[in-house]
Amino acid sequence: MKIYKEMEVVDLMIDIYYKKQIRLDESKNVEKKDLINYCHYRLSKCPFKDNKPFCSNCKIHCYDKIHQELIRKVMRDSGPRMIIYHPIIAIRHLIESSKNKKMIKRKEKEKSNYYGKK
């Protein structure tokens, strides 16, 4: 279920980013479709399934370098606009991301405490 929510958020962010881009250059429409398909494919193959962290917090990077840079650019540009176009989804995403970061820090702290005591 979590992967489908993440796919939804990624789709919305890509749509927001490319609305501006497509007005400037119609060939960007193909790039948009390719990026959406690539993101869906990579998310569907995620080894963590529903226990996955957000990609930005993940230790395994599934995207190749080209797509990794492109999706970072998309998220940097469309992330702040999400609050305008999709406020509920944006707030939910921020809360989930914050929880995810805290959980990762807690696990790392527990792991270091466990190994530090031996």
Q: Give the start-to-end residue ranges of the domains of the chain.
A: 2-116
Mean of per-residue pLDDT scores for the chain: 84
CB within 8 Å of 85: residues ≥ 6 apart? 12, 16
Tokens 């970061």 found at: 101
Asked if residue 61 lies in contact with residue 24, where contact means CB atoms within 8 angstroms, the answer is: no
pTM of the model: 0.79
Q: What is the pLDDT of residues 25-77, one digit of tens each?
A: 777 888 899 999 999 999 888 888 777 777 777 778 788 999 999 999 999 99
For 56, the enclosing helix (H) or strand (E) is none
